[in-house]
Chains A and B, each alone.
Chain A
Amino acid sequence: MSAVLRAEGLGRRYGKRWALSDCTLDIPAGHIVGLVGPNGAGKTTLLKLAAGQLTPTTGGITVLGGSPGAGPGQLAKVGFVAQDTPTYAGLSIAEHLKLGARLNPGWDDALARERIERLGLDPARKAGKLSGGQRAQLALTLGLAKRPELLLLDEPVAALDPLARREFLQSLMEAAVDQRLSVVLSSHLVSDVERTCDYLIVLVDSRVQVAGEVEELLAAHHRLTGPRRDPARLPADQHVVSASHTDRQSTFLVRTDAPIHDPAWTVSQVSLEDLILAYLHKSAATRRRPALEVQR
């Protein structure tokens, strides 16, 4: 299986601060990948490294088999829609398309025009006069019309109202089918990720906490509820992601590939949202361990 993105020990430092450290990933083609994490976790850094807008401090990254930003051929294969879906306020939609045609060798003008028409947008309209949702759709159109194999989107819907957000994701999913695109999109909206993504990367504090196909992740994570127990007494193949205790009861979220036979536990499935929150919480807990131990 060909990988769209492969990273090995990838890291990027700004001055003294590591924005991304020891990142190892192997994402197969044909997925819609959700990159989830709090602000400042390193999502933008990872996307910019993949787009070739940043160079690694440590380790290596290959995108679609090539080095990001290695040349015009590589740049044409990867589309990047940066945060806040930037457009030129003073230029009209038609001028954006003209610019896109001039800058991208594989530009699909028919596709761009057809999309703008379907969105009901007037090509003469200046980008500065568009609504947030329309501007996002314009940025998406520019990203799609260059006919990339991989489209990277950095928080594309964060600033949009629910309707514009849904419309944007509808367009994106439709395009993914039409153009056989692989997509990596960062988001902190778990419900959007749950709906649209079939591969998940959780990034916290510059580190990848978990990465994999959503279906496999859901099958490997379980919630165990039962009489209070020390996590150290769980089987070695059950990795505790989160634990909470009352004086009598323990609840664990564990990752394991083996079946759980211990009759003391009530085993239940976890939703993707529970899973993501457990990993976000886990790394927050390691940072603030003393405080949490007191609270228990």
Chain B
Amino acid sequence: MIEFHLDERSGVSPYQQLVRQVRQALRLGLLREGDRLPTVKEVVARLAINPNTVLKAYRELEHEGLVAARPGVGTFVTTTLADASLAAHGPLRQELRRWLAKARRAGLDDESIEALFMTTFRNAAQEDIA
């Protein structure tokens, strides 16, 4: 079962954070078809957040076709996002590790690495759109 957490300083709304965490867990294979998401009561009892925030996140996930609510039983994952791409994770991670080591040898600190990655990532994403 997935356990949600909340970053108050991220600038991302709480409901969006919940949606992203489910999507990410699906991509990483931590959640698979048939898994049950925590109930609204379980989530609010853990995070002390508004119940409607959880309901909204679950509705959005349902709308995206990732989960389905079975009344009186719970909300279940209906798809697996990871299968095709998960196999590629290992080699990609290894390459990224090598790249990180290179960046450190070149004298970049954590913040510079993150900044370099994010700007490159965004530029590439924008070029894809254009």
Q: Which residues of A contact B (CB under 8 A)?
A: 32, 166, 169-174, 176-178, 191, 194-198, 271
Contacts and interface: CB of A to CB of B under 8 A. Distances in A.
A173 B52 contact: no
Main secondary structure of the interface of B (DSSP, over half): helix
B74 interface: no
A196 B49 contact: yes
Most buried by B among A32, A166, A173, A196: A173
Contacts of A170: 44-48
Contacts of B103: none
A176 B53 contact: no
A196 B50 contact: yes
5 tightest A-B contacts by CB?
Answer: A173-B44, A169-B48, A174-B45, A170-B48, A177-B41
A163 B73 CA distance: 32
Interface residues of B, number: 16
A191 B41 contact: no
Contacts of B53: 198
A245 to B, nearest CB: 25
Contact of A195 (B14, B41, B45): B14
30 contacts: A32-B50, A166-B48, A169-B48, A170-B45, A170-B46, A170-B47, A172-B48, A173-B44, A173-B48, A173-B50, A173-B51, A174-B45, A176-B44, A177-B40, A177-B41, A177-B44, A177-B51, A178-B41, A194-B8, A195-B6, A195-B8, A195-B47, A195-B48, A195-B49, A195-B50, A196-B49, A196-B50, A198-B50, A198-B52, A271-B11
A176 B51 contact: yes
B53 to A, nearest CB: 7
Nearest to B39: A177
Contacts of B41: 174, 177-178
Interface string B25-54: 000000000000000110011111111110
A198 B40 CA distance: 15
B54 to A, nearest CB: 9
A181 B49 CA distance: 15
Contacts of A271: 11
Contacts of A171: 45
A271 B8 CA distance: 11
A35 to B, nearest CB: 15
B50 A174 contact: no
Contacts of B6: 195
A169 B52 CA distance: 15
